[in-house]
Amino acid sequence: IELTGINYSDKGIQVNNKLQTNIPNIFAVGDINGIHGMAHIAIQQGMQISKGIREQNITKDYNSLPRAMFTLPEIAGAGNQEWELRKKGIPYEVKKFSLKNSWRGFSRNINTGFIKLIFEKNILTGIWMTGPDASEILSTSGLLIGMNLSDTTIINNLFIHPTLGEGIFEAIFNA
């Protein structure tokens, strides 16, 4: 890399918001650029660059980035976290539902885990879960965050019953 003249640091190759390096027409995708070292980010960045080469528009907002930790129990979510909003002094509301209180949790004998929704002015800006299958249930949570949905819009849509994902509905309905 040193011989190419591409700028880099201990965090990775330096890129702009279009994933371009300091050298025109050279892009850095995935772990090498230090932007959220996750496989699904690398896939998304590759698609953005492909599209950007054709259309010259590949900027990406990572605010709705879904992420997961494959621990026992799993932890997954997307969007803002409470500590981030507190640090910025942004008012927010939390709506939370315990998985053990769901019909699916009861039928599977689940005693731990929860779904937590974070709203700013009734708009969903964070969704977090810990429990069985959290990564599966919230794999599309970035879409929910990116759509700027209100609590009313979410609750007026259908959820499959009984599922753990229904906890999203329950968190709002029971708040």
Can you give the pLDDT at residue 60? 65
Mean pLDDT in residue range 144-148: 91
Judgement on whether residues 28 and 79 belong to the same structural domain of the protein:
no
Name the percent of the chain lying above pLDDT 70: 96
Q: Which residues contact 132 (CB under 8 A, 6 or more apart)?
A: 73, 74, 99, 108, 110, 113, 164
Instruction: Cite the active site residues.
Output: 161
Judgement on whether residues 77 and 163 belong to the same structural domain of the protein:
yes
Judgement on whether residues 82 and 158 belong to the same structural domain of the protein:
yes
Contact 118, 141 (CB under 8 A): no
Question: Measured between alpha carbons, how far is 79 from 66 in angstroms, rounded to an integer?
Answer: 7
CATH of the domain at 110: 3.30.390.30
Q: Give the predicted TM-score (pTM) of the model.
A: 0.73
Judgement on whether residues 78 and 106 belong to the same structural domain of the protein:
yes
Judgement on whether residues 161 and 78 belong to the same structural domain of the protein:
yes
In which element (H, E) is residue 93 found?
A: strand 93-98
Can you give the pLDDT at residue 20? 86
